[in-house]
Amino acid sequence: MKVLASYSIKGGVGKTATAVNLGYLAACDGARVLVWDLDPQGAASYYFRVKPKIEGGSKRLLRRKRSLLEVIKGTDYRNLDLLPADFSNRHLELLLDHGKKPRRGLRSVMRPLQNHYDYVFIDCAPSISLVSENVFDVSDALLVPTIPTTLSLRTLSTLIDFRLKHGLTDVQLLPFFSMVDRRKSLHRLIVERPPKKLSLAIKTFIPFASEVEKMGVRRAPLTTYAAHSRAAVAFEQLWTEVKSCLAKHHETSRWAAKSNENFS
Amino acid sequence: MSWNCQYNIPNSLSVRRLTQGLKRLVSCTVDTQQSIQTTFYDTYDWRLYASRHVLEKQCENSNAGTLHLRSMEKTGAHAVVKMPHEPITFLQDLPNTAIRRQLASIIEMRALLPVASIRSCTTTLRLLDTNQKTVAYLELQESHALTSTGRTQGQVIRRACLVPVRGYATTARRLSRLLTEDLGLESAGGDLLNAVLAAGGRRPGDYSSKLGLQLDPNMRADAASKLVLHRLLDIMRANEHGIRNRVDTEFLHDFRVAVRRTRSLLVQLNNVFPGRTQNRYRRDFQWLQQITGPARDIDVYLLKFAEYQAMVEPPLRPALAPLRVYLEQHSTSLYRRLTRAFDTARYNKLIADWRAFLDQPSPKKSAVQNAARAIHDVANERIWRLYRRTIKAGRAINHDSPAQDLHELRKTCKKLRYMLELFQSIYPKRDIKQLIRTLKQLQDNLGDFNDLQVQSEVLQQISKEIHAKNRAGPETLMAIGNLVATLRQQREFERQAFFGRYKKFARPAMAARFRRLFRDAGNDARANKAA
Ligand SMILES: Nc1ncnc2c1ncn2[C@@H]1O[C@H](COP(=O)(O)OP(=O)(O)O)[C@@H](O)[C@H]1O
Ligand SMILES: [Mg+2]
């Protein structure tokens, strides 16, 4: 199992669009995929038309009374499941804080997923918090959509520092440019010459495109209704690049797959 | 979720009427009708079927399609992968996804073979909730089994398959009730694959390398032995075409096991058949075993190749490639030689004579001493003697024993193992299984020790040959040397492990069980007879 978190300190940068579209493309490859909507606003759940309410509530989930597996919902697409948003972030924070190892709470909650999924995409809420520290702990890579503006670059560099300062080097940092508007000269400038410090491993950028915005109306991954649009093609390229980065960085995932996989 | 989710659609109910009926009861949409050709795959020995899995390739018209692996019992769980045009035969032919990993532990090195094909017309209904989200699928299928030439055969199979969506169990249960109670469908009581196989006249499990015989302990020894030998002959014959066509390595393997068991029986069951018969077939089957040996040896090296590579230091790994080429070339020529052997008069006469002999009813009165005794008594004596021989030889092994001694012990163990396996049906199941299991652990150890010995010798030989024929550079010779060193190390490890395994096998509880099953039982029988 590989865990990929769509993460940024900022909101409205394309995190959810990334998690939903890459999750869909991974499932198209034949992999078993889970998208975990960890943003209380529930945008990913909304795109997949899943009602955000978890029966029985998330409290019991974090107290290990229930397995995550019981609250997962199948989507309209084969191999692609969703774990709906039902945590108020504050709530999750408090519960994680309660345990003995607050930074590792998510890891034990996620353990049962191990033999059921090849990829878990976590759609995060924008922040640096205990929840995000947990996300760093469980993830193989952070996908960081970044709008090419000066301010965003500074935020990204904060994140890079944060990762180093906290020694979170097991997790691969994969920033890429998102919502790139070719009409804006600043966007063009930054995309063509990204600052060296960022050492961007991913070359693909996602263009700003109205088809992506339409996901809110269609309530479906981009590829299902505009497969040949520039943005959809960009997401496909992005997925290919992410896979090769993953293959390079870790020979095995932080979540070693057990050889004896069973059907659930 | 484990309720049955396939239903028969009665002939009186058209798919259209069924769809209309459903639309009145639930909110759903109908996807466009699809004409799909499905091919079901399994290994020659039905490993998928035995583990309750179904592997199917679905295509629309062209050859490309999707490959699905599903469980017969649990609904929903389902691995899919898009398949290119190429036919699939081995695991390596599949892209490295979940489906391949799941298949790996089931089929291992065996080839996937098509077992049946159908053409079906499928109407998919999607049940929707208030968000227009799919919460269950219902596939209405009308299928025809196809012959190998693509013609339809048998009656149309009409099925409704309920495919639940994870997390919507209540909906699926409701839909299931609706189908049976409101629409009058009946549960199909089995997977579609069963119906398809039946239509094509195929019986799942029609080949197995297992004996699968139930012998009567009081049967005459000659008649019982003939039953077992007959079954072994059938196993040999069933594997011949797979060897000729080199479908996968296990055809030859199963063939050879059957030959070896046949030989072992002929040797062990003294005075059950006339001496001349016994001698002739012992010789002939020994010949058969000899001529099939070299091809199997190379198969083993090729099967182990990935393991071998892992044993060599990483920088030397690529240098093993010429070894692989060498093995593959050899394998091809050895298999060709094998096919020629199958066409010889000697082989065909052996098989024909042997079958004729086995088909002959046993003579009422036999001059051969053990022929008319109960198989139970004869087997008891043999097994008891082999057990004691194993113990005696095992006890004599110490840290300085020559490899030859371990080799001899291995052969004795094998004989004992075959006897236990071939006649297991006349003993209490739990006892015999436990004996076989513990014996197997000992035998695996001895087998590995022997194999590692042989392998390192043969690889050194090959290395010399490759060198002499100038077929690879010094790195290859170094890599093989590296490999041989690791194999030697492992061999020493196996030698150390022997003592523990032997101790377990020779422990008093096991001895008591052997005594009870094979010695005391014999005494009891004799006592009963006398009384
Ligand atoms: N490449 C894009 N082009 C145009 N609009 C986009 C693009 N990516 C995202 N959006 C839109 O921007 C908004 C925020 O995107 P979202 O993926 O929800 O960001 P986040 O999850 O980071 O808050 C959404 O309305 C989305 O439809
Ligand atoms: Mg979001």
**Which of B27, B31, B80 best probes binding to A when mutated, by most A CB atoms within 10 angstroms?**
B80
Query: Nearest by CB to B99, which of A28, A30, A49?
Result: A30
Give, using CA atoms, the residue closest to atom 23 of ligand 1: A12
Find the A213 Cα to ligand 1 centroid distance in Å. Answer: 6
What local confidence, expressed as pLDDT, does residue B70 receive?
86
For range B169-193, the mean pLDDT: 90
**Are the beta carbons of A219 and B131 separated by less than 8 Å?**
yes
Mean per-residue pLDDT, A181-202: 90
Q: Measured between alpha carbons, how far is B252 from B275 in angstroms, rounded to an integer?
A: 30
Q: How many other C-beta atoms lie within 10 A of the C-beta of residue A227?
A: 11
Question: Ligand 1 test: best mutation among A89, A213, A236, most atoms within 8 Å of CB?
Answer: A213
- Say yes or no: B82 contacts chain A, CB-CB below 8 A: yes
A218 lines ligand 1 (CB under 6 A): no
pLDDT higher than 50, residue B56: yes
Q: Using the atom order of ligand 1, give the atom closest to the CA of residue A43.
A: 18
The torsion defined by the Cα of B168, A264, B78 and A61, in degrees rounded to 10, comes to 50
Residues B26-36: what's their mean pLDDT?
89
Instruction: Count interface pairs A-B at CB distance under 8 A.
Output: 63
Is the minimum CB–CB distance between B2 and chain A shorter than 8 Å?
Answer: no
Nearest CA to ligand 1 atom 5: A213
Tell me the one-letter amino acid at B26.
V
Q: Percentage helix, strand, coil, to 5, in chain B? A: 60, 15, 25
The mean pLDDT of chain B is 91
How many angstroms is it from A250 CA to the middle of ligand 1?
30
CA–centroid distance, A83 to ligand 1, in Å, is 20
Mean confidence (pLDDT) of chain A: 85
Question: pLDDT grade, residue A162 (50/70/90)?
Answer: confident
What pLDDT sits at residue B94?
85
What was the pLDDT predicted at B22? 92
Q: Which amino acid is at B88?
A: I
> pLDDT at position A98, please?
64
Q: A interface toward B at CB cutoff 8 Å? A: 28-32, 48-51, 71-74, 76, 78-79, 81, 118, 219, 257, 259-261, 263-264
Please state the rounded mean pLDDT for residues B293-318: 93
Pairwise CA distance, residues B58 & A77, whole Å: 17
- Write out the residue range of the structural domain in which residue A168 sits: 2-263
Q: Determine whether the shortest distance from the Cβ of A216 to ligand 1 is under 6 A.
A: yes
Provide the CATH number for the domain around residue A184: 3.40.50.300
* Crossing angle between the packed helical segments B249-268 and B275-303, to the nearest 10 degrees: 150
Six token digits for residue A3: 């865990």
Residue given tokens 């059938």 in the structure block: B234
Helix B221-244 × helix B321-342 angle, to 10°: 120
Closest atom of ligand 1 to A18 CA is 17
Rounded distance, CA B530 to CA B325, Å? Answer: 67
Instruction: Inform me whether the pLDDT recorded for B439 exceeds 70.
Output: yes
Q: Is B80 close to A78, i.e. CB distance below 8 A?
A: yes
What DSSP line would sit under B266-320, residue for residue?
A: HHHSTTSS-HHHHHHHHHHHHHHHHHHHHHHHHHHHHHTHHHHHHHS-GGGGGGG
Taken in order B80, B81, B86, B92, is the CA torsion positive or negative? negative
B residues 437-496 lying closer than 8 A (beta carbon) to A:
none
- Name the closest ligand to CA A144: 1
Ligand at minimal distance from the CA of A230 is: 1
Å between B165 CA and nearest CA of chain A: 5
Determine the atom of ligand 1 nearest the C-alpha atom of A210.
4
- Pocket mutation for ligand 1, best pick of A16, A180, A217 (most atoms within 8 Å of C-beta): A16
* Long-range contacts of B435-438, Cβ-Cβ distance < 8 Å, separation of 24 or more: B435/B510, B435/B513, B435/B514, B435/B517, B438/B504, B438/B505, B438/B510
- Residue A87 gets which letter from DSSP? -
Burial of residue B345, with CB atoms counted within 10 A of its CB: 0-12 exposed, 13-18 middle, 19 or more buried: exposed
Q: Which ligand is the nearest neighbour of the Cα of A14?
A: 1
* Atom 11 of ligand 1, nearest CA residue: A213
CB within 8 Å of chain A, chain B residues 138-197: 165-168
Q: Which ligand does the CA of A176 lie closest to?
A: 1
A28, A76, A80, A217: best to mutate for the B interface, most B CBs within 10 A = A76
Cα nearest neighbour of A52 on chain B: B131
The C-alpha of A221 sits at a distance from chain B's nearest C-alpha, in angstroms, of: 13
Strand partners, A149: none
Within a 13 Å sphere around the CA of A127, how many CA atoms are in the beta-carbon half?
Answer: 13
pLDDT beyond 70 at B75: no
User: Is B105 part of the contact surface with chain A (CB cutoff 8 Å)?
Assistant: yes
Is pLDDT at A218 greater than 80 in this prediction? yes
Interface contact flag, A79 B80, Cβ < 8 Å: yes
Q: Residue B468 is which amino acid? A: A
What does the pLDDT read at residue A131?
Answer: 77
Question: How far, in Å, from the CA of A37 to the mean position of ligand 2?
Answer: 9
| Residue ranges with strand state E in B165-234 | 186-187
**DSSP H helical segments within B343-402, as ranges?**
345-359, 375-396
Strand extents, DSSP E, A150-236: 172-177
From the CB of A61, is ligand 1 less than 6 Å away? Answer: no
From the number of C-beta atoms within 10 Å of its C-beta (0-12, 13-18, 19+), residue B324 rates as: middle
Q: Residue A257 — φ and ψ, nearest 5°?
A: -75, 140
The tokens 């076989």 sit on which residue? B436
Contact residues for B201 (Cβ-Cβ < 8 A; gap 6+): none
Of A92, A157, A132, give the one whose Cα is nearest residue A5: A132
Instruction: Provide the number of structural domains found in chain A.
Output: 1
Q: Which residue has better confidence, A99 or B298? A: B298
Q: Is the pLDDT of residue B53 over 60?
A: yes
Choice from A18, A89, A179, A214 to test ligand 1 binding pocket (greatest atom count within 8 A of CB):
A179
DSSP letter at B125?
Answer: E
Q: pLDDT by residue (tens digit) across B489-502?
A: 999 999 999 999 99
Domains by residue range for chain B, with CATH: 5-199 (2.40.320.10), 221-306+321-372 (1.40.20.10), 374-531 (1.40.20.10)
Distance A10 CA to ligand 2 centre (A): 10
Cα distance between residue B374 and residue B497, in whole Å: 39
- pLDDT at B358 > cutoff 70: yes
pLDDT digits (tens, 9 = 90+) for A43-92: 999 999 998 765 555 565 555 556 778 889 999 998 899 998 775 555 56
| Euclidean distance between CA atoms B236 and B258, whole angstroms | 6
